[in-house]
Amino acid sequence: MTYARAGVDIDKVSRAHRAIARKLERTFRTRRGKIGRPIFPIGHYAGLVDIGHDKVLSLHTDNVGTKMIIAHMMRKFDTVGIDCVAMCANDLICTGSEPVAFLDHISLASPDHTIVGQIADGIAKGAEEAGMAVVGGETAITPDLLQGQVGDLIGMAIGICSRRELVLGDKVRRGDTLVGVASSGIHSNGLTLARKVLLKTHRLGERVPGLGRTLGQELLEPTRIYVKPVLELLRKSEVHGLAHITGGAFSKLDRIVSQAKLGATLEELPPLPEIFRLIQKTGHVSEPEMYRTFNMGVGLIAVCPDSEADRAIRIFGRHGQKAFRLGRVIERNGIRVKGTLVS
Amino acid sequence: MTYARAGVDIDKVSRAHRAIARKLERTFRTRRGKIGRPIFPIGHYAGLVDIGHDKVLSLHTDNVGTKMIIAHMMRKFDTVGIDCVAMCANDLICTGSEPVAFLDHISLASPDHTIVGQIADGIAKGAEEAGMAVVGGETAITPDLLQGQVGDLIGMAIGICSRRELVLGDKVRRGDTLVGVASSGIHSNGLTLARKVLLKTHRLGERVPGLGRTLGQELLEPTRIYVKPVLELLRKSEVHGLAHITGGAFSKLDRIVSQAKLGATLEELPPLPEIFRLIQKTGHVSEPEMYRTFNMGVGLIAVCPDSEADRAIRIFGRHGQKAFRLGRVIERNGIRVKGTLVS
């Protein structure tokens, strides 16, 4: 099984992204000489807009994806809002920005009070954890666009950074250490593949040995929010790059290290969480495909000078987040996980 | 026929909005004492965030809705991007803000280059008209969430305003004049009702007498963008309130005038565009329902002192936009169009 066969071809998606970016970048000219000049290029973790007074806004939008289908099947919508905030906030911090404000966009086939209320509870919880204010949003009722009653959940977030303190990956150096931070499970990526593989042989309500809970509970575990430790890390230590491991998984690191025309090798990964072992075994998914699709237990990677790695690990630890040395930045291009080229 | 029977119950949607707002406002506390304090309350045209230096960010998200279905049926996706930008930018200017940056979120069942390219062309065109830079976005491939191949298109926009120059409606006075600005057609609201009514008896490729073009072309006419004349109006004249006439149509005015505990009466409307006459006649839609669902030829309303109305009309005229006196602000609560209570 591959992610492409499950319906999501990452290469095709990347090509589509690049084609859009080229068309949209010409709009950057509209702000020439005005407040709110974009900082090139499109394609980092967030759009960056210079608003003067040494301040840059970071803008990002993301969605929960087909995790909504699991929520719908479980009739449990109180955690997807946390995922939605996490997907946006964790991307913003990868530019060195402090998340500030959030908007939600809920699409539903009908205005269901219970679902909307549960989603809003999760959004509020996630926003509080990320230190963001939810200043608006939209609930769109579009029965004819959506498949059945599932709905879609999209978030948009704004962060602020001092221009001097932006983390763009250009400071990454050969020999830098990759510090990985534990994920809380599958987070919000690869759910399409996970569902197609697992729901052939398991039910969501089934207690699966090794998970210690039902499959549905495991899949709905909310995405970890890394905002607080990362903001502390940025204040107290030296960080050359930050990668949120989401769609494309470890290939996301390439975005960071390729800025400095370098590559990375990951030699030691944390023990593989049971959910990924289950997906790999049940779906006969290849190793490279797993590393390109799932976070494999690592939700965030900080690239820092080797001398700062222990301090970084301690900071995450103080916030209750397990962090570990994964590998290092090397001369040779591409991202290799245990010798396998994933990007 | 009513909008509720077509699947969209505005009252239910409003109740859901209020329930969410209450839950989300508690997150405002997360910014206490920090940069990026939200300005109460949620529920105006945009979320407002104070970022210091007398600057306020306006944040808004909106979607094109089921206009995407018309685009899909016509296999023509080069205008919906303009609608998406218009829906966001026209809302931002209603707070007195200058639109600055935009993010798009495209959901598709499969990564179709042609569709994505056409959507991006429209977004770029709209953003240039609105003076915004498109600094990022997301193309989410979620085949299992979407009905068929239609897709969904959501925008998010940021504007900036000087705190002193925010337009919130609190300056609206009894006797103020309502200046309406012509819409370009149905814009991006009420399409669910329009489709259900019109596609029973007409085909999209059919040339309908009075429209001067096919029904599909008429329905895909992009939403007018009011940014340039409104920014000029804000600079050169006195504006007490601005209402973008979208979902809920003329009831949207209530949001503005009720801030000052007032109402409004609209006595003279521009000649009804043929598309609305066609929907009303074909669907046997009542007058109040029409005024609550469709813009009826008026895409934006500026509330200004009567002495400024002619100047406002001239400014819109110089930008090629027809504007006219619609009515005035009165003591009695509620919004009345030609004597009919619509809100």
Answer yes or no: do B135 and A100 touch at CB < 8 A: no
Higher pLDDT, B17 or A178: A178
pLDDT of residue A141: 80
Closest to A69 in 3D by CA, of A126, A27, A138, A6: A6
pLDDT of residue B11: 75
Question: Is the pLDDT score of A343 beyond 90?
Answer: no
Question: Is the pLDDT score of A10 beyond 80?
Answer: no
pLDDT of residue B43: 63
Question: Is the pLDDT score of B288 beyond 70?
Answer: yes
CA B145 to chain centre: 26
Q: Which of B156, B166, B189, B244 to mutate to test the interface with A (most CBs of A within 10 A)?
A: B156
Residue that is written with structure tokens 């909307």 in the block: A116
Closest to B326 in 3D by CA, of B280, B279, B257: B257
B5-8 long-range Cβ contacts below 8 angstroms, 24+ apart: B6/B192, B6/B193, B6/B196, B6/B197, B7/A110, B7/A141, B7/A143, B7/A144, B7/B192, B7/B196, B8/A141, B8/A143, B8/B192, B8/B193
∠ Cα A116 A120 A121 (to 5°): 120
Q: Residue B33 — φ and ψ, nearest 5°?
A: 75, 5
Q: Mean pLDDT throughout B26-36?
A: 91
Q: How confident is the model at residue A42 (pLDDT cuts 50, 70, 90)?
A: low
Residue that is written with structure tokens 């107290």 in the block: A236
Q: How confident is the model at residue B319 (pLDDT cuts 50, 70, 90)?
A: very high
Half-sphere CA count of A242, side-chain side, radius 13 A: 28
Q: What is the distance in angstroms between the Cα of A73 and the nearest Cα belonging to chain B?
A: 13
Q: Mean pLDDT throughout A86-112?
A: 93
Q: How confident is the model at residue A96 (pLDDT cuts 50, 70, 90)?
A: very high
Q: What is the CA radius of gyration of chain B?
A: 20
Closest partner residue to B140 (CB to CB) among A9, A63, A124 is A63
pLDDT of residue B41: 67
Question: Is the pLDDT score of B228 beyond 70?
Answer: yes
Tokens of A42: 């499109």
Task: Give the DSSP letter of residue A200.
Answer: T
pLDDT digits (tens, 9 = 90+) for B165-179: 999 888 999 999 999
* B226 exposure class (CB count in 10 Å sphere: 0-12, 13-18, 19+): buried
Closest to B317 in 3D by CA, of B187, B218, B179, B178: B179
Q: What is the distance in angstroms between the Cα of B325 and the nearest Cα belonging to chain A?
A: 31
Q: Which helix (H) or strand (E) holds B202?
A: none
Q: Cβ(A289)–Cβ(A280) under 8 Å? A: no
Tokens of A50: 């210079």
Say how far apart CA A63 and CA A42 lie, in whole Å.
18
pLDDT of residue A13: 72
Q: Mean pLDDT throughout A269-280?
A: 96
- Which residues 293-332 of B are in CB contact (within 8 Å) with A? none
Half-sphere CA count of A178, side-chain side, radius 13 A: 31
Q: Which residue type does B49 have?
A: V
Say how far apart CA B158 and CA A60 lie, in whole Å.
11
User: Picking from B19-28, B47-56, B155-164, which range would have the lowest pLDDT averaged per residue?
Assistant: B19-28
Q: How confident is the model at residue B71 (pLDDT cuts 50, 70, 90)?
A: very high
3-class SS of residue A275 = helix
- With beta carbons under 8 A apart, name residues in chain B contacting A13: 111, 139, 141
Residue that is written with structure tokens 């002619």 in the block: B310
Q: Cβ(A332)–Cβ(A263) under 8 Å? A: yes
Q: Which of A10, A22, A27 to mutate to test the interface with B (most CBs of B within 10 A)?
A: A27
* Percentage above 70 pLDDT, chain B: 99
Closest partner residue to A61 (CB to CB) among B8, B105, B111 is B105
What length is written for chain A?
A: 343
CA B20 to chain centre: 21
What is the full DSSP assignment across B296-336? Answer: TTEEEEEEE-GGGHHHHHHHHHHTT--EEEEEEEESSSSEE
Q: Mean pLDDT throughout B116-130?
A: 96
Q: How confident is the model at residue B215 (pLDDT cuts 50, 70, 90)?
A: very high
Q: Supply the pTM of this predicted model.
A: 0.93
pLDDT of residue A138: 86
pLDDT of residue A220: 98
Q: Mean pLDDT throughout B5-19?
A: 74
Q: Residue B210 — φ and ψ, nearest 5°?
A: 95, -30
CA A181 to chain centre: 13
Other C-beta atoms closer than 10 Å to the C-beta of B281 total 10
Question: Is the pLDDT score of A22 beyond 90?
Answer: no
Exposure b/e, B152-191, CB count within 10 A at least 16 = b = bbbbbbbbbbeeeebbbbebbeeebbbbbbbbbbbbbbbb
Say how far apart CA B95 and CA B73 lie, in whole Å.
35
Q: What is the CA radius of gyration of chain A?
A: 20
3-class SS of residue A103 = strand
pLDDT of residue B285: 95
Domains of chain B (ranges; CATH) run 35-165 (3.30.1330.10), 177-341 (3.90.650.10)
Say how far apart CA B184 and CA A19 lie, in whole Å.
30
Tokens of A136: 């608006």
pLDDT of residue A20: 80
- With beta carbons under 8 A apart, name residues in chain B contacting A52: 53
Question: Is the pLDDT score of A319 beyond 80?
Answer: yes
Say how far apart CA A136 and CA B45 lie, in whole Å.
9
pLDDT digits (tens, 9 = 90+) for A210-223: 999 999 999 999 99
Q: Cβ(B79)–Cβ(B144) under 8 Å? A: no
Task: Give the DSSP letter of residue A54.
Answer: T
Other C-beta atoms closer than 10 Å to the C-beta of A204 total 18
Q: How confident is the model at residue A314 (pLDDT cuts 50, 70, 90)?
A: very high
Q: What is the distance in angstroms between the Cα of A119 and the nearest Cα belonging to chain B?
A: 9
User: Picking from A230-234, A325-329, B111-115, which range would have the lowest pLDDT averaged per residue?
Assistant: B111-115
pLDDT of residue A12: 74
Other C-beta atoms closer than 10 Å to the C-beta of B66 total 29
pLDDT digits (tens, 9 = 90+) for B85-121: 999 999 999 999 999 999 999 988 888 888 999 999 9
Q: How confident is the model at residue B324 (pLDDT cuts 50, 70, 90)?
A: very high
Answer yes or no: do B7 and A144 touch at CB < 8 A: yes
Beta strands in chain B, from DSSP E residues, in sequence order: 37-39, 47-50, 55-63, 98-108, 133-141, 152-162, 177-182, 241-244, 263-266, 298-304, 323-330, 335-337, 340-341
Average pLDDT score over chain A: 92
pLDDT of residue A41: 67
Q: Mean pLDDT throughout A32-51?
A: 84
Higher pLDDT, B335 or A141: B335
**A116 CB within 8 Å of a chain B CB:** yes
Closest to B255 in 3D by CA, of B269, B238, B243, B240: B243
Q: Which of A23, A45, A160 to mutate to test the interface with B (most CBs of B within 10 A)?
A: A23
pLDDT digits (tens, 9 = 90+) for A138-175: 888 877 777 777 788 999 999 999 999 999 888 999 99
Cis status of the peptide bond prior to A99, with omega within 30 of 0: no
Q: Mean pLDDT throughout B128-135?
A: 96
Q: Mean pLDDT throughout A235-244?
A: 96
Q: Cβ(A17)–Cβ(B139) under 8 Å? A: yes
* B205 exposure class (CB count in 10 Å sphere: 0-12, 13-18, 19+): exposed
pLDDT of residue B42: 62
- Which residues 53-82 of A are in CB contact (within 8 Å) with B? 53, 55, 57, 59-63, 65-66, 68-69
